[in-house]
Structure 1
Amino acid sequence: MFKELATLFALCAGSLLTLLLIGRLLQLRELLLNQNLGLLDVGRMLLYLSPFFLLLLIPIACMLSVFLTLLRMNTDLETTALRASGVSLYQLLPAPILLGTLCTLAAWWISFHGLAWGMENFRSTMLELARSKTQLVLQPGVFNREFPGITLYAQQADGASGELRTVFVKDATRGDSAATILAPEGRVRTDTERGEIVFQLRNGRIYREEPKGMSVIGFGTYQVKMDLSKMLSGYKIGEMRPKEMSWSQLNQIAERNEREGLNDNSARKVQVEIHKRLVLPLACLVLSLFAVPLASMFSGLHRHWGLLLALGFFLFYYTLLSLGLSLGETGAMPPALGLWLPNGVFLLTGLYGLRQAARERSFTVIERLRHIKLFGRRTADVR
């Protein structure tokens, strides 16, 4: 039984992960085409994204494997034969519990270590792509228009250090107040923490056209900043978000917020992320137990309908979890209550259903539907 569970789990997890990664590839297609990345680089980026998706996919794959395995056993009357030979439903639980426990441990490792590793490397790869593209467009004696809203010309440009000589910049990033900047020297650098490209010019002048004429302003140092996301086809870099942080970073920020008495939106997001990384791994075990009586209830259902049914129940679980996330971030509900509530509801429902199924008191929905259909036919014949 455990072998069948493990096989179905690997099949479900692999299929869902492939679909999600293909979807993310389609979102980043412009970035990948513009950067001319090879297959090895694309594969490396997908590897970095995998922990983020696996944290969500492992619970659903665990639930699907348990549900489909027991549904097949019930449909083929294997469970009935086992009960007739004296094997109770409780004696079938070790295999689903073992699978749920192993999945919980794997998801915990991803939550505490793998997620931060993947997001950090993915972010570093994106920043390296931005740096590479910045160096490529810094060609001396050429009007570079690769930076959205900025036209850059430098008589001399060093792509490695970013140093510029005799610089002309047309800054149209501020809408109607476009400015022309001339400077004898400058430098281009990338601010990785804030996710920005910074054009730092020295000892120049700013020419700005106004209704009454032209204004000229001299400066010692002037900076033009541009979001790196515009260089990466809209991929958001910016400051590191809670979902990209490691477990230790989240706890350090949470402790600091508690000491300072902060309860703003950013502090609540950190609390929500901490609880989410604990809730999702435990969902593997909770959903495995929930799937056992669910399979008994829908005995006789075809596999493809069973797959849709299990996906529907997980969608309901994820809806409750998403609602808890939203309410926790807005402060309408404590993050602990909002995120742990779905696990509590499904655990209690699963334990009650398991108790009823073990006593053979649970009704089979499929049989009830057949009785209703048969009753409807008889009523029609009488009429």
Structure 2
Amino acid sequence: MKVFDKYILKSFLEPFLATFFVVLFVLVMQSLWLAFDEIAGKGIDIFFILKFLVYLALMLTPTALPIGILLSSIMALGNLSENYEMAAIKSAGISLKRVIRPLIFLILFISALNFVFLNNIYPWATLKQKNLYLNMKKKKPALALVPGAFNTDIPGYSIKFEEKYGEEDNLLKNVQIADLSQSKGKIKVITAQKGIISTEEGSKYMTLTLENGNYYEEHINKSMQPKDRAKMPASKATFKTYTINIDISSFNDDDKLDDEKIKEHHGMLSIVQLDSISKVNKIKYDEYTKNQADYFFNILEAKKLYKYPDSLIDTKLDSVILNNFTTYNKSIVLNESIQLLKRTIDHNKNQKISFKDKRKLLNLYDHEIYYRISFSLACLVLFFIGAPLGSIIRKGGFGLPMIMAIIIFVIYFFISKLGGNLSEESAISALFGSWLSTLILLPFGILLTRRATQGMGIFNIDSVLDNIQKLFNKTGNKTTNL
């Protein structure tokens, strides 16, 4: 490799590594912030939080790569132009195409690497992250007894106390406990002057020892009427010490956070798996549409339609024939026809939703297959926009290049989502929807590359002003001739 190529690669890789990790960090923090409300306050171990962040980083790496390439290409070529290195390179007879040639091979390698990542690591990370996030959301909040309020987090119990004190904050003052475990209402109430909480490490039970209190319980059946409850006996007693063992295993179910219940989400599958499931879904979809067509064919008795000519078109309906039917019989025929039509319309409405959902699912899998290929090549497309753009604007650093990179990628991302939504609704094909953003931005990349190669700006202001001047001159000459 020539020294020149090494220098160009170094000029690109230094800002690329910096921008890639910065963008990845921002994307991970944004996703974590959105999920924070769902997982905060549940006593989740830091180990699972770190696993969640690692899975998020692996999922967002394919998105951070194109942004990093776009931003670093603008910065690298902008720095070369700003420091007059590009002018020196051109004066030596080296064209822009020769300058970016080693970078093109590097971007092709990164695009291939991004495709391998999307097809192998991304599905695995999505499987782990989505299941872990779902299990975190379902996990019960961490047990935290608050003084002065009824604590109902523990299943089957309602606990209230005035004050929590002691070195370990495990002593309670003026405790009131309602045992609701039998689902019969508040029929067992325990009060005590003092309570002591003790839990052994690793135990699934919390021991609550009450001192100097009263015990009250009503002996009723669940099926009793409210008026019969007053006639039933009740138990009442006082105690010096009373112990309650409360099951708190549901608050320490970290072993269930790794459960994998969702496995067929389109983001969790490789291209081969997506294609296999898509083929199966297409067979089911064809069978479904055929069954619906047969249903309408049979309910409308289409076999008999050809036997009866349309009397309203070929011949006039003879009023004498209608006179043979009574008004009651005519109303029966009309009502049955109306009811048949209503049933068909209602069936149509109900099946329309099912038909649309099946078609959407089919389009979703097809779009995901093509999108992973097109998104891998997004690195190359965005490079051919960023590199000539940096050469033209002649500005390095994080200022203007960052703004332009964000604007360009937002446009690319918006068009990608638009293509995905349109293909999902069957407005366009899945293939066209997945390549829509690439097809729209690729001509701009070619145009910018040509203008940068020819040493031209993005817009030739002088040419535009000359054309406007010529237009005014022609208009003035025509007015003079008149």
- TM-score higher than 0.5: yes
In structure 1, which of residues 317, 320, 331 is the aligned counterpart of residue 426 of structure 2? 331
1:309 is aligned to 404
Following superposition, the deviation at residue 364 of structure 1 comes to 5.0
Native 8 Å contact 1:67 1:291 kept in 2:
yes
Q: CA, structure 1 residues 317+131, in 2 after alignment: closer, same or farther (shift >3 Å)? A: closer
Q: Distance in 2 between matches of 1:319 and 1:251?
A: 26
Paired AA for residue 368 in structure 2: E
RMSD: 3.6
1:343 is aligned to 438
Q: Distance in 1 between matches of 2:222 and 2:373?
A: 54
Gaps of 5+ in 1: 137-142, 154-165, 171-204, 210-231, 373-383
TM-score where L is the length of structure 1: 0.65
Native 8 Å contact 2:367 2:431 kept in 1:
yes
1:87 is aligned to 94
Paired AA for residue 308 in structure 1: I
Is structure 2 residue 282 aligned with structure 1 residue 258?
yes
2:267 is aligned to 243
1:353 is aligned to 448
Q: CA, structure 1 residues 15+333, in 2 after alignment: closer, same or farther (shift >3 Å)? A: same
SS of equivalent residue, structure 1 residue 36: coil
Q: CA, structure 1 residues 127+305, in 2 after alignment: closer, same or farther (shift >3 Å)? A: closer
Paired AA for residue 123 in structure 2: A
1:118 is aligned to 125
Gaps of 5+ in 2: 1-7, 144-149, 158-179, 185-220, 226-255, 287-357, 466-482
Is structure 2 residue 12 aligned with structure 1 residue 5?
yes
2:49 is aligned to 42
Following superposition, the deviation at residue 114 of structure 1 comes to 0.8
Native 8 Å contact 1:116 1:244 kept in 2:
yes
Q: Distance in 1 between matches of 2:380 and 2:405?
A: 15
1:267 is aligned to 362
2:32 is aligned to 25
Q: CA, structure 1 residues 253+297, in 2 after alignment: closer, same or farther (shift >3 Å)? A: same
Kindly report which structure 2 residues correspond to 1:145-160, keeping only aligned pairs within 5 A, or say none: 146=153
2:477 is aligned to none
Q: Distance in 1 between matches of 2:361 and 2:183?
A: 36
Following superposition, the deviation at residue 207 of structure 1 comes to 7.1
Paired AA for residue 12 in structure 2: L
Q: Distance in 1 between matches of 2:11 and 2:396?
A: 19
Following superposition, the deviation at residue 24 of structure 1 comes to 2.2
Q: Distance in 1 between matches of 2:283 and 2:264?
A: 22
Q: Distance in 2 between matches of 1:353 and 1:207?
A: 80
Q: Distance in 1 between matches of 2:224 and 2:131?
A: 37
SS of equivalent residue, structure 1 residue 331: coil
Q: Distance in 2 between matches of 1:206 and 1:105?
A: 67
Q: CA, structure 1 residues 268+9, in 2 after alignment: closer, same or farther (shift >3 Å)? A: same
Following superposition, the deviation at residue 248 of structure 1 comes to 3.1
Larger of the two Rg values belongs to structure? 2
SS of equivalent residue, structure 1 residue 12: helix
Q: Distance in 1 between matches of 2:397 and 2:458?
A: 14
* Higher strand content, 1 or 2: 1
Is structure 2 residue 376 aligned with structure 1 residue 281?
yes
SS of equivalent residue, structure 1 residue 87: coil
Native 8 Å contact 1:62 1:99 kept in 2:
no
SS of equivalent residue, structure 2 residue 457: coil
Q: CA, structure 1 residues 16+302, in 2 after alignment: closer, same or farther (shift >3 Å)? A: closer
Q: Distance in 1 between matches of 2:367 and 2:56?
A: 21
Post-superposition Cα deviations, 1:185-238, rounded to whole Å, max 9, x if no partner, equal xxxxxxxxxxxxxxxxxxxx99799xxxxxxxxxxxxxxxxxxxxxx9xxxx87
SS of equivalent residue, structure 2 residue 377: helix
2:354 is aligned to none
Identity between Structure 1 and Structure 2 (%): 21
Paired AA for residue 243 in structure 1: G
1:363 is aligned to 457
1:66 is aligned to 73
Post-superposition Cα deviations, 1:292-320, rounded to whole Å, max 9, x if no partner, equal 22223323577501220121111111111
SS of equivalent residue, structure 2 residue 420: helix
Q: Distance in 2 between matches of 1:37 and 1:288?
A: 42
Paired AA for residue 93 in structure 1: I
2:346 is aligned to none
Q: Distance in 2 between matches of 1:73 and 1:318?
A: 28
Q: Distance in 1 between matches of 2:451 and 2:36?
A: 51
Following superposition, the deviation at residue 29 of structure 1 comes to 2.5
In structure 2, which of residues 89, 92, 106 is the aligned counterpart of residue 99 of structure 1? 106
Alignment length, in residue pairs?
A: 290
2:311 is aligned to none
Post-superposition Cα deviations, 1:35-83, rounded to whole Å, max 9, x if no partner, equal 3234332121111112221121111111111111001111221111101
Following superposition, the deviation at residue 344 of structure 1 comes to 2.2
Post-superposition Cα deviations, 1:142-194, rounded to whole Å, max 9, x if no partner, equal x99559xxx658xxxxxxxxxxxx97459xxxxxxxxxxxxxxxxxxxxxxxx
Q: Distance in 1 between matches of 2:452 and 2:138?
A: 60
2:303 is aligned to none
Is structure 2 residue 14 aligned with structure 1 residue 14?
no
Post-superposition Cα deviations, 1:92-144, rounded to whole Å, max 9, x if no partner, equal 1223213312321221122101111112222343465578759x9xxxxxx99
Q: Distance in 2 between matches of 1:44 and 1:342?
A: 33
Native 8 Å contact 2:42 2:139 kept in 1:
no
SS of equivalent residue, structure 2 residue 427: coil
Q: Distance in 2 between matches of 1:265 and 1:208?
A: 52
Native 8 Å contact 1:63 1:310 kept in 2:
yes
1:202 is aligned to none
